[in-house]
Amino acid sequence: MSATYIQALKPNVTQHEALRTFSGAGISTLYWRMRSGPLRRIAEVYVPYWLYRVQYNMGRAAHTSLFAIDAVNGSLDLFTFPRVPAASDLVSIHTRNRIAPSLPRAGAEEALRQKVLRVIFQQGFFKVRDLNLEIAPEPLELHMPYWLGFYGNVTLRCRVLNAVRRRMEGAKASALFESWLAA
């Protein structure tokens, strides 16, 4: 894969902080080391996300939210934004460590619809009447930064740190990155 320029959300985790997180003394880190082997390397990777404006009614109130869904397979957690990210929230990066979008727009919208419905129902199932989601794409493709920690002796395993939310991701994210690396 050749290096290209991408627009990415500014990361909240530096390389030093990511290394400290992956090599820390916490219970989950010790579990990873015992299960997979020692930390071998870390790398920053960018995942493409598509931004959508979603309008719906809850109770008698109209709501509008901006959601971003990953453009790879729609399996990662949604990002919610109060407004379209401004230029000051983004950085232009020249990198090879990016996953190419592979989810068709129609598939992204259907996955987004299902995930947004879950979010709405969690806010109050009984408030939902005549739910009509209006989903409109925003003209911004942005990339989200993630740190990958590679553990192992014989077989490398991947642990994922979300560089925006400053939290470890679960099995879905690890599977996405491991399949991308294997391809």
How many independent structural domains does the chain possess? 1
Rounded Cα–Cα distance for residues 177 and 168 (Å): 14
Range of the domain at 165: 4-182
Phi/psi at 13 (5° precision): -130, 125
Helical H segments across the chain, by residue range: 15-22, 27-36, 105-124, 171-182
Q: What is the pTM of this model?
A: 0.89
- Short-list 119, 165, 159, CA closest to 30: 159
pLDDT tens digits along 69-116: 999 999 999 999 999 999 999 999 999 999 999 999 999 999 999 998
